[in-house]
Structure 1
Amino acid sequence: MSYLVEQSIERLKFNNIRITPQRHAILEYLIDQDNHPTADEIYKALESRFPSMSVATVYNNLRLFTELGLVKEMMYGDNSSRFDFASTEHYHAICSECGKIEDIYYPGLDDVEVVASNLTGFAVNSHRLEIYGLCPDCQKNIENN
């Protein structure tokens, strides 16, 4: 079991939340994936291991993980939220053609909330940065057509 899974399970236990095999598997899947899956994708990936698990179980656990700050929900215009394990602050590059999402780690923006607060007087509690463009695969597809 990875350190991130162990740490997340400890956080669940601290909040008096029972560690079910499904919860463990959903967390582990999110930590192992870097493709920012939808709830349906998580369900399809795990349904063979948990035939009695419903899509609602996945959604309910994702909502719980989001409330606890273990997972971030990323909502986009296509009405399907994507979920990202929230291990460290990072940003996203999103392909405007195929929807692929890549993580960007840029420590230079660590103090952006403080700067924004100082400039605006807002009590800033979070921020989100998204970069849009064409991924390398879509660039190749355009060049080849």
Structure 2
Amino acid sequence: MAAIRRSKQRDAIKAYLMSTTAHPTAEVVYENIKKDFPNISLGTVYRNLNFLVEHDEALRLDCGDGFDHFDGNTHPHNHFFCKSCGRIIDLKMDKIDHIDLIAAAGFDGRIDDHIIYFRGICKDCLEK
């Protein structure tokens, strides 16, 4: 197997994802990365984001708005999607890993993990 070549652009994309909790789209990543790499293409950003996701260095989130969002925090955690403003928020909550055991109780296959998205209205939108 060939060694994976490091890239300054990929490192910058990963660093950007690690620096934000905003869960940006590829287009937002592109707008931020092209400040340091003015010749980078949106396609290169997409390829590098896909690489990071495939190598478990980033998460891809589908919150139903038609865009993939990316998260540099690959530790197990849950997300909240605001139906009003579209914001994606990391939830601070107790682990619910036991849900895999609950699901496995009525399932003949093997459950390796889960993805749970919570939806509703965020505090800022409720206060408006």
> Under a length normalisation based on structure 2, what TM-score does the superposition of the two structures give?
0.90
Contact 2:77/2:91 (8 A) holds in 1? yes
Q: Distance in 2 between matches of 1:71 and 1:58?
A: 13
Q: Which of 69, 80, 84 lines up with 1:82 in the alignment? A: 69
1:27 aligns with 2:14: yes
1:43 aligns with 2:14: no
Within 5 A, what are the aligned runs for 1:1-145? 16-141=3-128
Shift of 1:56: 0.4
Cα deviation, 1:14-45, whole Å, max 9, x if unaligned, reads x8221111011000001111010000000001
2:79 is paired with a residue whose SS is: strand
How many residues align? The count is 127
Q: Distance in 2 between matches of 1:35 and 1:87?
A: 14
Q: Which protein has greater RCO, CA pairs closer than 8 Å, 6+ apart?
A: 2
Cα deviation, 1:76-126, whole Å, max 9, x if unaligned, reads 322111011243100011110011111114343022223311332231133
Cα deviation, 1:35-58, whole Å, max 9, x if unaligned, reads 100000000011111011000011
Give the helix-richer structure, 1 or 2: 1
1:63 is paired with a residue whose SS is: helix
2:12 is paired with a residue whose SS is: helix
Contact 1:71/1:83 (8 A) holds in 2? yes
